[in-house]
Structure 1
Amino acid sequence: MQPGLVIFDCDGVLVDTERMVNASLAEIVSELGYPITGPECQRRFMGRTLENVKEMVEQLTGSKLSEDWPDQVRTRDLEVFKAGVPAIRGVSKVLDDLDARQVPYCVGSSGKYAKMRTTLGSSGLLPRLEGKLYSAEDCAQGKPAPDVFLLAAKSMGFAPESCVVIEDSLPGVQAAKAAGMAVFAFVEDPSCDREALARAGATLFEDMSELPALLFSKS
């Protein structure tokens, strides 16, 4: 059956930011006395809110971080993004295909609105998505809780079971499944834990050009 609504994660699905932000985060965490690489940060923290990451980093380092630590990281990320953020290769054609089929789509992200508008703006995708952005900033809990996807579905006027989520992180896949939604996991990045994503219930794909056929294979 044709999906009623397609909900895209933002980082790593629409815009190629994951390697950038995790390299920066690795520097921050390493400076706290816990040496870590960008790919390891990606495996540990990908898809989570920075508030959740703060708690995890405190456990790893044994240090109590300031309450504004997440905002400090966000400010540093915004500086990194000034160099330019590319769109994920092929994602514009996916949006073209959805437009041609008159299938609505939106974004459900752990990131705050300011970050989404910065990265999507830099990539050139924002005009297509403005007014259809939903953030865990407006939810009681971030991924892997289903809140942001349920918010997106309700706001766009669709029942959860009619929605399909496009994700690249384990917390994101878990959130989609908890929301009662089908989920496809984009695994182009070598840092993705493919086995964990599949075990969590996602259908995996490696290239954005594959997505339309997956979404509409039974239509």
Structure 2
Amino acid sequence: MIRPFDLIVFDCDGVLMDSEIVSARVVAEDMTEHGIPTTPEQAMARFAGVSLRTMKPIIEAERGAELPSGWGERMVAKIATAMAREVTEIPGARAILERLDALGIPWRIASNSADAEMDAKFARTGFTVLVRGRTHSAPRLFATGGRPKPAPDVFLDAARAEGVAPGRCLVIEDSVTGVTGAVAAGMTCYGFLPHGDGAALLAAGAARILRRLDDLAALVAPERVGA
């Protein structure tokens, strides 16, 4: 029997927004400027789903020196600017969110991205009104001791906001970092991977692999999808 859920929590990058290669290019350019020649493909392989806060000490260790003061804030601005010009939605993203609304299934978004980055992505793709009041940013939690994924904090923040127990939440994630955080939160996680075998996501604790977002409605509300 399909397990019912009271809240669906979506990752943003790579699940709703086709944004990971855009941010990877910005990261690669910055790493190259700081003495670590890096391609966008290399940056995406290393840092997909990883927050800037987690990324910073890794880059500093590799270059053997601290990054300049204010590096994180400048990177957020650079990434937001790039998103405002280039990002597109993942096929089926708007349709699944609107379908869940029609089915009466609550959903939220939990991301390692800063609010400025998410705002730029959603403005560019026309999602601003649709997602208003339903986004949760790990950097927004830093001031109160919150941690980025793979910690569970941003997922738990989403569950608290909706008043739903973690065990009644389903998370949709495309990275090992995100799957790890969702499992740590006590939530069921489905990996989203249009291509590839999904072995790494399953090994991290994903319960199954989704190939298309429009498959989700039939999994979470099979009795209502045809209504």
- The one-letter code of the counterpart of 2:183 is K
Following TM superposition, the consecutive aligned residue runs of length 4 or more in structure 1 with deviations greater than 6 angstroms are none
TM-score by length of 2: 0.89
Cα offset, 1:154, TM superposition: 0.6
Q: Which residue of 2 aligns with 1:75?
A: 77
CA distance in 1, matches of 2:173, 2:223: 21
The answer on whether the counterparts of 2:22 and 2:86 sit within 8 Å (CA) in structure 1 is no
Cα offset, 1:217, TM superposition: 5.3
CA distance in 1, matches of 2:96, 2:65: 44
Q: Which residue of 1 aligns with 2:149?
A: 143
The answer on whether the counterparts of 1:169 and 1:197 sit within 8 Å (CA) in structure 2 is yes
- The one-letter code of the counterpart of 1:194 is G
CA distance in 1, matches of 2:156, 2:223: 24
Q: How much identity, in percent, do the aligned residues show?
A: 35
CA distance in 2, matches of 1:135, 1:188: 25
The answer on whether the counterparts of 1:168 and 1:185 sit within 8 Å (CA) in structure 2 is yes
CA distance in 2, matches of 1:24, 1:170: 21
Deviation per CA, 1:79-123, whole angstroms, max 9, x where unpaired? 212324211111112112211210000111111112111111111
SS in 2 for 1:60: helix
* Unaligned residue ranges in structure 2 (runs of 5+): none
The answer on whether the counterparts of 2:83 and 2:117 sit within 8 Å (CA) in structure 1 is no
Cα offset, 1:152, TM superposition: 0.7
Q: Which residue of 2 aligns with 1:195?
A: 199
The answer on whether the counterparts of 2:22 and 2:87 sit within 8 Å (CA) in structure 1 is no
Count of residues in correspondence between the two structures:
217
Deviation per CA, 1:38-95, whole angstroms, max 9, x where unpaired? 1221121121221111111112222211231111111111221232421111111211
The answer on whether the counterparts of 2:14 and 2:90 sit within 8 Å (CA) in structure 1 is yes
Q: Which residue of 1 aligns with 2:176?
A: 170
TM-score by length of 1: 0.92
Q: Which residue of 1 aligns with 2:185?
A: 179
The answer on whether the counterparts of 1:87 and 1:125 sit within 8 Å (CA) in structure 2 is no
Cα offset, 1:218, TM superposition: 8.6
More contact order relative to length (CA 8 Å, sep ≥ 6): 1
- The one-letter code of the counterpart of 2:157 is L
CA distance in 2, matches of 1:215, 1:19: 29
- The one-letter code of the counterpart of 1:206 is R
- The one-letter code of the counterpart of 2:58 is M
- The one-letter code of the counterpart of 1:211 is L
Alignment of 1:207 with 2:212, yes or no, is yes
CA distance in 2, matches of 1:8, 1:47: 13
Deviation per CA, 1:147-195, whole angstroms, max 9, x where unpaired? 00001101111000000011111111100000000111211366xx832
The answer on whether the counterparts of 2:10 and 2:173 sit within 8 Å (CA) in structure 1 is yes
Q: Which residue of 2 aligns with 1:116?
A: 118
CA distance in 1, matches of 2:30, 2:195: 22
SS in 1 for 2:44: helix
Q: Which residue of 2 aligns with 1:54?
A: 56
Cα offset, 1:7, TM superposition: 0.6
The answer on whether the counterparts of 1:2 and 1:218 sit within 8 Å (CA) in structure 2 is no
